[in-house]
Amino acid sequence: MKKILVSGYYGFGNAGDEAILMAIVESFKKLDENVRIKALSANPRETELMHDIEAVHRTNPFLVVKAIAEADLVLSGGGGLLQDVTSSRSIPYYLLIVFLAKKMGKKVMFYANGVGPVNRNFNKRLIASVGNMVDLITVRDENSRDQLKNLGVKKPPIYVTADPAFALKPVDDETGLRILTRQGINLDSGGLKIGISVRPWKVSESRKVIAEVSDYLIRNYSANIVFIPMQFPQDYNESLEIMGLMREKAMVIGESLGPRELLWICGKMDLLCGMRLHALIFGAIMGVPLVGLAYDPKVENFLMRVGQPSAGALKDLKVQRLCSLIQDAIKKREESRRTLLAKRKEMEYLANENARLALKLLEGGHEQEKKN
- The DSSP code sequence of 266-309 is HHT-SEEEESSHHHHHHHHHTT--EEEEESSHHHHHHHHHHT--
| pLDDT tens profile 43-55 | 999 999 999 999 9
Instruction: Give me the pLDDT at residue 365, please.
Output: 65
Model confidence at 371: pLDDT above 90: no
Helix, coil or strand: residue 146:
helix
Instruction: Give me the pLDDT at residue 180, please.
Output: 95
Average pLDDT value for residue range 250-279: 97
For residue 331, give every residue at least 6 positions away whose Cβ sits within 8 Å of its Cβ, in sequence order, or none. none
Residue 77, strand partner residues: 111
Instruction: Give me the pLDDT at residue 88, please.
Output: 83
| pLDDT tens profile 168-190 | 999 999 999 999 999 999 888 78
Model confidence at 370: pLDDT above 50: no
Model confidence at 369: pLDDT above 50: no
For the chain, give the percent of residues with pLDDT over 90: 91
Instruction: Give me the pLDDT at residue 313, please.
Output: 87
Go through the domains of the chain in sequence order and give each one's CATH number: 3-167+349-370 (3.40.50.2000), 173-285+290-331 (3.40.50.2000)
For residue 18, give every residue at least 6 positions away whose Cβ sits within 8 Å of its Cβ, in sequence order, or none. 10, 50, 51, 258, 259
What is the value of pTM for the model shown?
A: 0.95
| pLDDT tens profile 11-26 | 999 999 999 999 999 9
Average pLDDT value for residue range 329-345: 95
